[in-house]
């Protein structure tokens, strides 16, 4: 029996075109292209020919993730390659991978099988330095805060009320709570601090939501780093920090151009997680792609309850566009898990368990329809799926007047996604009835209620005493008109990861509300969500190696 090639082996065998050719085919003029080696480049958007952004946006989202894997990035890339095969001018817009999952459990984020973006290794590791630049900008602000306090604390910053944390783009639980400034008067003022993962930082969100360099700088200046002794907010602008931060982000702010295995141009830029941040690639990348292509296929993280909800309420609103079509990725394996099958028993055929898991898909379909959009279901086929199991999904969808097609893009690339591409094109020809579920002017509690009831299917929201106090302060400071960024487990509609499937009659507890004024949203922390993840017992890092010729192995 032949063992299938790994993602890395497939990627390495692929023929890449020089990035100049990819750019030329995408109508990106040479003066706007800044090559980073042979196969990657940054785009200087100001040098692109002026053209209105008319490309239609196809959002790829998914059912609630399980450890069985869903394959959103894989389907995003495969769908784009299929659209290219149908001669549609298409571009992919994706997030940059974080080293947290690469070294942790999930592996990379460049798709899989014959639907990948290339060069896979370089995108998964240190991609054009963007995430390092964000880390540096974030920690410069931390250094400026501690330096300010050390040199007399003119702003009267209360060291106990500093909300700005240091960041590192790794899963490192030991850094969640730390003490800085130890060692005596020459070494700063001691205070409690902590690290978040870079992809959860406000700077990452700002880079993803800013629409110009001046917008970037203004947002950086608006960051609230903490409070004074009399509880007044202190901003990055008060510390005169925004100029330096913008300088550090100058190159990172330019979208990165790469290609798919089949040569479709892809913009990969910005990488916030969707459970503890807003989960979408940058507005710069999406809007640049809308300017260059007729169809932009993009992805929002985790299930439609997280990434897609934030895509609709945060990204689309700030980027001033409407999503035109939505694809919900489902797999037989994940539905079986939602239907109660443990991971070890996923190989055995079990159409009944698929049926038992379908209510999870049903809720995500319901959510997308509430936004006025008609989803297409992509059944991402694994070779172990049986026809009976796949038919269980297709028949259910037919019965519920929902378009569903099998996507074979992992095994066959764009060729395996033609049916999906045709279904998406049909949706793109329909009138667009997109409408958000809440307006920013509503009360914070009402906005959260709407998300919990309409998107999660819950009954109610409970705000802890701490969250209520924070809410009062948020209203007092006039920040209550900002949209909500829920921080919730990706595994469940509830705030408890174990409650998979489609739980009923639950309440979500908001334990803390963190204003991110630069990003322009209020983060509501629920359940046990951590903004600095930890590594699992057997991290992916333990399988990686480098041989004498410089070849990497074990990168997933
Ligand atoms: P997501 O974007 O939903 O997190 P990815 O597209 O990154 O998921 O895929 C996660 C992993 O699952 C990748 O290693 C990919 O190769 C694998 N995968 C995705 N689809 C399939 C499939 N149809 N068959 C086998 N493996 C797949």
pLDDT in tens, 431-463: 999 999 999 999 999 999 999 999 999 999 999
Measured CA distances, 271 to 197, 199, 277, 448, 515 (Å):
11, 6, 9, 24, 20
Residues 6+ apart with CB under 8 A from 200: 167, 272, 273, 276, 277, 531, 532
CA of 343 to the centre of ligand 1 (A): 16
Cα 138 from Cα 144, distance rounded (Å): 10
pLDDT, residue 1, reads 58
> Coil, strand or helix: which one is 10?
helix
- The H or E element that residue 526 is part of is strand 521-526
Measured CA distances, 3 to 6, 56, 412 (Å):
9, 39, 16
Number of the ligand 1 atom closest to the C-alpha atom of 109: 7
Ligand 1 contact, 556 CB (< 6 A): yes
| Phi, psi angles (nearest 5°) of residue 221 | -65, -30
Residue recorded with tokens 């487990």: 489
pLDDT, residue 53, reads 82
- Least Cα distance to 420 among 134, 60, 104, 102 occurs for 60
Cα 477 from Cα 498, distance rounded (Å): 37
Bond preceding residue 119 cis, omega within 30 of 0: yes
**Is 396 assigned a catalytic role?**
no
Q: Which of 40, 56, 95, 516 is catalytic?
A: 95
* Strand spans (E) along 198-290: 224-228, 233-235, 256-260, 265-268
Residue recorded with tokens 């990106």: 28
Ligand 1 contact, 385 CB (< 6 A): no
Number of the ligand 1 atom closest to the C-alpha atom of 380: 23
pLDDT, residue 407, reads 98
Contact 102, 230 (CB under 8 A): no
Residues of the chain with pLDDT under 70: 1-2, 68-69, 106
**Is 302 assigned a catalytic role?**
yes
* Strand spans (E) along 374-431: 375-380, 403-407
User: Which parts of 271-314 fold into alpha helices (H)?
Assistant: 283-292, 309-310
Ligand 1 contact, 105 CB (< 6 A): no
pTM of the predicted structure, to 2 decimals: 0.96
Measure CA 70 to chain center. Answer: 15
**Is 95 assigned a catalytic role?**
yes
Cα 11 from Cα 116, distance rounded (Å): 7
**Is 274 assigned a catalytic role?**
yes
pLDDT, residue 255, reads 98
Ligand 1 contact, 407 CB (< 6 A): no
**Is 308 assigned a catalytic role?**
no
Q: Which of 195, 302, 479, 493 is catalytic?
A: 302
| Phi, psi angles (nearest 5°) of residue 81 | -65, -35
Residue with the nearest Cα to atom 8 of ligand 1? Answer: 71
> Coil, strand or helix: which one is 463?
strand
Kindly give the pairing relationship between strand 552-553 and strand 233-235. unpaired
Contact 328, 374 (CB under 8 A): no
pLDDT, residue 252, reads 98
pLDDT, residue 105, reads 82
């Amino acid at each position: 029996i032949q063992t299938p090639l790994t993602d890395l082996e497939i990627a390495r065998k692929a023929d890449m075109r020089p990035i100049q050719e990819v750019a030329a085919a995408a109508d990106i003029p040479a003066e706007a292209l800044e090559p980073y080696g042979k196969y990657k480049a940054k785009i200087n958007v100001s040098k692109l020919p002026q053209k209105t952004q008319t490309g239609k946006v196809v959002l790829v989202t998914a059912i609630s993730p399980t450890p069985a894997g869903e394959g959103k990035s894989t389907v995003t890339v495969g769908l784009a390659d299929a659209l290219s095969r149908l001669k549609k001018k298409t571009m992919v817009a994706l997030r940059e991978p974080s080293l947290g999952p690469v070294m942790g459990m999930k592996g990379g984020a460049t798709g899989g099988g014959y639907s990948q973006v290339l060069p896979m290794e370089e995108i998964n590791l240190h991609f054009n330095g963007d995430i390092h630049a964000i880390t540096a900008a974030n920690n410069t602000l931390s250094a400026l805060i501690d330096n300010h306090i050390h040199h007399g604390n003119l702003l009267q910053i209360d060291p106990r009320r500093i909300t700005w944390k240091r960041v590192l783009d790794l899963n490192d639980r030991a850094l969640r709570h730390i003490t800085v400034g130890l060692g005596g008067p020459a070494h700063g003022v001691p205070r409690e601090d902590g690290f978040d993962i870079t992809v959860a930082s406000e700077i990452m969100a700002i880079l993803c939501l800013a629409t110009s360099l001046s917008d970037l700088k203004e947002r950086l200046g608006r960051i609230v780093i903490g409070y004074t002794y009399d509880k007044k907010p202190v901003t990055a602008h008060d510390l005169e920090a925004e100029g330096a931060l913008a300088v550090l982000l100058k190159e990172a702010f330019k979208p990165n151009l790469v290609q798919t295995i089949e040569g479709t141009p892809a913009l990969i830029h910005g990488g916030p997680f969707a459970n503890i941040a807003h989960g979408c690639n940058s507005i710069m990348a999406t809007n640049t792609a809308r300017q260059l292509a007729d169809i932009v296929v993009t992805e929002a993280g985790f299930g439609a309850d997280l990434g897609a909800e934030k895509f609709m309420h945060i990204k689309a609103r700030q980027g001033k566009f409407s999503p035109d079509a939505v694809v919900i990725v489902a797999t037989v394996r994940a539905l079986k898990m939602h239907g109660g099958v443990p991971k070890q028993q996923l190989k055995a055929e079990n159409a009944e368990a698929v049926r038992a898991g379908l209510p999870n898909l049903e809720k995500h379909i319901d959510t997308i329809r509430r936004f006025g959009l008609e989803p297409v279901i992509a059944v991402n086929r694994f070779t172990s799926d049986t026809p009976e199991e796949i038919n269980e999904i297709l028949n259910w969808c037919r019965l519920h007047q929902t378009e569903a097609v099998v996507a074979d893009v992992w095994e066959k690339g764009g060729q395996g996604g033609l049916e999906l591409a045709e279904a998406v094109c049909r949706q793109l020809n329909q009138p667009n009835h997109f409408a958000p579920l809440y307006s920013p002017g509503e009360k914070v509690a009402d906005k959260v209620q709407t998300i919990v009831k309409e998107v999660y299917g819950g009954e109610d929201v409970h705000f802890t005493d701490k969250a209520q106090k924070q809410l009062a302060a948020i209203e007092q400071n006039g920040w209550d008109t900002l949209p909500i960024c829920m921080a919730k487990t990706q595994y469940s509609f509830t705030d408890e990861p174990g409650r998979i499937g489609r739980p009923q009659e639950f309440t979500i507890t908001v334990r803390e509300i963190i204003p991110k004024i630069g990003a322009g949203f209020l983060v509501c922390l629920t359940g046990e969500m951590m903004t600095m993840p930890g590594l699992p017992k057997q991290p992916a890092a333990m399988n990686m190696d480098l041989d004498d010729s410089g070849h990497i192995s074990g990168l997933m």
